[in-house]
Amino acid sequence: MDTILYFCFSLVYMILFIMGITLIRRQDNLLSHSSFLLLVTFALFADNIIIASGKFIGDGPLLEVLNQSRFWIHGFITPTLILFGWDMAKRIHIPFTEKRSAFYFFLYLTSGLIIYECIENMHKTFVPVSEYGVLRYVSEQSSGPPLMVLVVTLVLLVISINIFLRERWIWMLLGVVIMIGGSAIPIPIESSALTNAFEMIFICSLWYTYYKLEPHFPHSDSSLELQQKRVK
């Protein structure tokens, strides 16, 4: 059953990725800070498809390398959600994001978490685990959510609260709360895919927030073109 769920998650992420490319190209550009959410979406597609394919690949060096890549991809890409969150906050002119120093703070925090994750991954030992019909390699040293995930979630929680207070837009906040609750509260369901389900809801809430907040971004080329058409 879990194998089917992971394949379904992969399909949803691929759809989000394709839709995200179209949305970003229309509203911003692929080099904007919004593209970090695109990278995270693709990373989660890769993560889920590797887990789903584990039992078909079989235990061995190939599966171990693929699973190690999951940790490295997460380490490099997941912290960039901080920059995406900063971009969302800046679009609606939340005061603490307006200063240049705020951007450097978020940039240094993101860079620091990436460096930290790289150092952590270099010291991890991976062991095969088979549960609920899924075969994958996990870190032998894992014990609870990684520090990087906790920091990223906390930053996005603060940003989402500010977005709610300013715009009355609750979906990003709900996504973050669901992500936190799903990771922290034990749920008596025999499945290893439950956390990934909460993660998918979280990412969907970020894409919905990006779609909602785009009109508030004054420097968007598409927004400028729309204004010019209205003037004409």
Q: What is the CATH number of the domain that holds 58?
A: 1.20.1070
Q: How many CB atoms lie within 10 A of CB 166?
A: 14
pLDDT at residue number 101: 87
At 143, the pLDDT band (50, 70, 90 cuts) reads low
Specify if 64 maps to a domain. yes
User: Mean per-residue pLDDT for 173-179?
Assistant: 94
Least confident of 2-11, 128-137, 186-195: 186-195
Specify if 160 maps to a domain. yes
Of the candidates 160, 165, 172, 175, the residue with the CA atom closest to the CA atom of residue 89: 160
User: Mean per-residue pLDDT for 65-72?
Assistant: 93
**Domain containing residue 132:** 2-219
At 220, the pLDDT band (50, 70, 90 cuts) reads very low
**Who wins on pLDDT, 189 or 2?**
2
**Who wins on pLDDT, 62 or 228?**
62
CA distances from 78 to 39, 40, 82, 184, 192 (A): 9, 6, 8, 19, 20
At 215, the pLDDT band (50, 70, 90 cuts) reads low
* Overall domain count for the chain: 1
- How far is Cα 132 from Cα 13, in angstroms, rounded to an integer? 22
Specify if 154 maps to a domain. yes
Specify if 159 maps to a domain. yes
Amino acid at 171: W
Output phi, psi for 89, to 5 deg: -65, -40
Q: What integer best gives the mean pLDDT of the chain?
A: 85
Q: How many residues does the chain have?
A: 232
Specify if 232 maps to a domain. no
Of the candidates 217, 212, 220, the residue with the CA atom closest to the CA atom of residue 160: 212
Specify if 224 maps to a domain. no
User: Mean per-residue pLDDT for 145-171?
Assistant: 92
Task: For residue 189, count CB atoms less than 10 angstroms from its CB and return exposed for 0-12, middle for 13-18, buried for 19 or more.
Answer: exposed
Specify if 90 maps to a domain. yes
At 9, the pLDDT band (50, 70, 90 cuts) reads very high
Asked if pLDDT for residue 181 goes beyond 90, the answer is no
User: Mean per-residue pLDDT for 3-16?
Assistant: 95
Contact 207, 20 (CB under 8 A): yes
**Highest mean pLDDT, choosing among 47-56, 91-100, 132-141:** 47-56
Of the candidates 153, 129, 112, the residue with the CA atom closest to the CA atom of residue 63: 129
Specify if 185 maps to a domain. yes
